[in-house]
Amino acid sequence: MAELMSLSLEKAHSYTRMALPLMGHHGIPTTPMNYSIWYNYVTGENPKLKETIDIMLKHGDQFTEEKNKVLYSKFCALYDEVKIKKLQEGLTMVLITLASEVQGLSIHTEDYEKLLSRSMVLLSDDRNGEKLGVIIQDIIDETKSLVQYGKTIQQKLEQTTQDLEALQQEYEHTKKEAAKDPLTGIANRKAFMEEATQVIRDANTRSEPLALIMADIDYFKYFNDTHGHLVGDEVLKFVAKKIKSMVKGQDFVARLGGEEFVILLPRTGFAGALHVAEQIRSYFDLSELKSQTLATRLGKVTLSLGLAMYEPGETLEALIDRSDKSLYLAKEKGRNRVATQRDLETANTP
């Protein structure tokens, strides 16, 4: 297994040496997202990705930022799950090998103990010392054998430790990438659902308040159609970065998809959460954006936000639903505003 793992690591290095020059040749920035695309391309383990890139190369297509994002989203984002599965298989093989070696050591140790017991019996019966030389030689031979096997085991255990460390590093990297939204770099929907589940559990255990804010960019489709998807992507990245900078360390920001973001505020009451939502809304209302790609002013991009407070014992889905309905109410009332579950209650009162 150690030899196979060494070969595997050597293969990984060779794939890296193949992928990076290709990226440089085609003018592709060396980002984690782009590296994942081209690493998978040179390995050939993702046939559909390889076929798509080969067609693009044949037609002389340019690998623009937008096209790179499409390639990653289509072929690599879900591929991370496959990588996790392979890591599980790799770890299983390491453990099988390790168990086998430990069992072998146990057998050798047991044989050595039996030899010592036999030798003591022989010594007690050998009053004239006639068998002393044979007994000593047997012990010497068996001791040397055990020491040599121990050295072999030590070497294998050292290699196994390296294999496990390599698997751990690869797992941590894959796990981080799988939790990221490839465009904005913030957490994705999957990461949010996992975080929210844990935060709700903590809120129930500690009887602490918890707020959820959903935010949506107003008229984003019109904006995209007017300025193009590249500029639209710039706006999404800016909005994500700015929202993340406006919350505290314990708070959690994620992109749910499209132009919709979510902010989880643990240990935050209604007044505090409303203040955060209004701060975010106000910032964008007072700001005028400028495109770095087109070097032109884009005007104002506003947000509508919906706020809901967690109610003890309810499900995550119920909390999301009330926050989403609050967001929808903010849209109905004219956008560029914050609506809360209290506004929902008022709107539903006859």
Would you please indicate which residues are annotated as catalytic (active-site) residues?
A: 259
DSSP secondary structure of 41-86: HHHT--HHHHHHHHHHHHHT----HHHHHHHIIIIITTHHHHHHHH
Residues facing 50 on adjacent strands: none
Q: Cα separation of 65 and 5, whole Å?
A: 35
Q: Cα separation of 123 and 117, whole Å?
A: 10
Placement of tokens 């639903």 in the chain: 321
Amino acid at 327: L
**Long-range CB contacts (within 8 A, 24+) of 195-201:** 195/252, 195/254, 195/264, 196/252, 196/264, 196/316, 196/319, 197/316, 199/252, 199/264, 199/266, 200/310, 200/316, 200/319
Q: Cα separation of 258 and 38, whole Å?
A: 25
Q: Cα separation of 235 and 218, whole Å?
A: 12
C-alpha angle 136-137-143 in degrees, rounded to nearest 5? 90
Assigned token pair, 128:
């004239």
Nearest to 323 by CA among 304, 348, 305: 305
